[in-house]
């Protein structure tokens, strides 16, 4: 059955410029795929004009402030309502025609067509990437009502299977949990609501700089700058070639000066040294009982076959080059 996909980013006023750059990168790589930037708050006119020129009317820039405010969603102490836009993908009228919806954080830079992500065989309501940090420190299970051994995903890149998601009411459940301020805010709520109902994404689609920098930027399908941001004064963990892409994207915009540094800041030597002891430190940090902390999922080597479902894990082939 043919799928009708789209992708979207969510932003507030502060992140709107970087969202436009990330969206332009997707356009450059992906061809004809419907896309949206959904934002809250009043975007400064200079930023709005620059974003519209950069995206050349190929992406819908939609103000969802009134929609979000009308939901009376209780975000608690979170500084921005825009973070929770993705939790309303089943209610936003812009998404009604689509059955596959890819979401990305603004601090993700793609190296491969997002259409390829949308074409991933998907037999669950959600496709997401394992959160590597949780392998070394699984204390999130102490704070979230999840089963012993339950894996955790990072919500920076997601693919929603909308028919299944709507049928099971999973985002409605997520909103309820988020409004109750579960540990981990929106990401924690997503993990609880989708426990046992998500499929493992190929790890190259969400390569996080804080725990996956051993995979070089050139091999990533999408680099997630979960440590330093490329536009920050100290862009810790941002590779030189990634910064070059941002400079090229930002040319001719009011934001070009934010990427003018000649060399990104590398990780500190102590952090690199400490990474060698991640496994040991994870054992020490994880004070769950031996049985509760043990994941019963069998370990599998990566096969050469495409993604196919098994009982609790999902196989994928590791590309070469």
User: How do residues 2-49 score in pLDDT, each as one tens digit?
Assistant: 679 999 999 999 999 999 999 999 999 998 899 999 999 999 999 999
Contact assessment for residue 123 and residue 309, using Cβ atoms and an 8 Å cutoff: yes
Report CA 310 to chain centroid distance, whole Å: 24
E strand spans, the chain: 5-11, 34-39, 60-63, 100-104, 108-110, 126-130, 153-161, 198-200, 207-208, 222-224, 308-309, 314-315
Reading phi first (left if > 0) and then psi (alpha if -120 to 50, else beta), residue 196 is in left
Nearest Cα neighbor of 68 from 57, 84, 79, 55 is 84
Mean pLDDT lowest among 1-15, 137-151, 303-317: 303-317
Q: Kindly state the percentage of the chain with pLDDT values over 70.
A: 75
Instruction: Return the bridge partners of 102, or none.
Output: 7, 159
Query: Please, which residues have CB within 8 angstroms of residue 283's CB and are 6 or more apart in sequence?
Result: none
* d(C-alpha 46, C-alpha 38), whole Å: 18
List Cα–Cα distances, 115 to 119, 165, 212, 219, in angstroms: 6, 20, 23, 17
Q: Kindly state the percentage of the chain with pLDDT values over 90.
A: 59
Which pLDDT score is estimated for 222? Answer: 97
* d(C-alpha 21, C-alpha 287), whole Å: 42
Contact assessment for residue 35 and residue 57, using Cβ atoms and an 8 Å cutoff: no
Which pLDDT score is estimated for 214? Answer: 74
Which pLDDT score is estimated for 32? Answer: 85
Residue 76, classed as helix, strand or coil, is coil
pTM given for the model: 0.81
Which pLDDT score is estimated for 2? Answer: 64
Task: Provide mean pLDDT across the span 156-163.
Answer: 97
Assess whether pLDDT exceeds 60 at residue 257: yes
Nearest Cα neighbor of 142 from 297, 295, 286, 296 is 286
Task: Provide mean pLDDT across the span 191-212.
Answer: 90
Sheet holding 126-130, edge to edge: 60-63, 34-39, 5-11, 100-104, 153-161, 126-130, 198-200
């Amino acid at each position: 059955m043919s799928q009708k996909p789209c992708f979207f980013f969510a932003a507030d006023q502060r992140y709107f410029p970087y969202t436009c750059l990330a969206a332009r990168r997707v356009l450059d790589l992906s061809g004809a795929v419907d896309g949206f930037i959904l934002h809250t708050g009043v975007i400064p006119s200079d930023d709005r004009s620059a974003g519209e020129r950069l995206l050349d009317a190929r992406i819908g820039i939609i103000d969802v402030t009134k929609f979000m405010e009308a939901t009376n969603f209780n975000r608690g102490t979170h500084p921005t309502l825009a973070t929770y836009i993705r939790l309303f993908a089943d209610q936003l009228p812009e998404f009604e025609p689509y059955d596959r919806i890819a979401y990305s954080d603004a601090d993700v830079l793609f190296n491969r067509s997002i259409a390829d992500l949308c074409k991933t065989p998907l037999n669950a309501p959600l496709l997401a990437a394992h959160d590597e940090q949780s392998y070394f420190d699984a204390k999130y299970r102490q704070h979230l009502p999840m089963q012993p051994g339950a894996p955790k995903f990072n919500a920076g890149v997601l693919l929603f299977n909308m028919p299944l998601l709507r049928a099971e009411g999973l985002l409605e459940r997520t909103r309820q949990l988020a409004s109750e301020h579960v540990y981990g805010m929106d990401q924690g709520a997503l993990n609880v609501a989708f426990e046992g109902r998500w499929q493992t994404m190929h790890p190259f689609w969400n390569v996080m700089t804080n725990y996956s920098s051993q995979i070089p930027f050139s091999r990533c399908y999408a680099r997630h700058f979960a440590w330093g941001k490329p536009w920050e004064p100290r862009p810790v963990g941002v590779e030189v070639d990634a910064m070059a892409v941002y400079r090229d994207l930002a040319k001719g915009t009011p934001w070009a000066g934010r990427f003018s540094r000649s060399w990104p800041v590398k990780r500190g030597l102590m952090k690199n040294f400490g990474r060698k002891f991640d496994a040991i430190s994870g054992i020490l940090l994880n004070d769950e009982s031996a049985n509760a902390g043990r994941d019963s999922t069998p370990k599998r080597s990566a096969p050469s076959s495409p993604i196919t479902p098994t009982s609790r894990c999902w196989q994928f082939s590791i590309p070469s080059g």
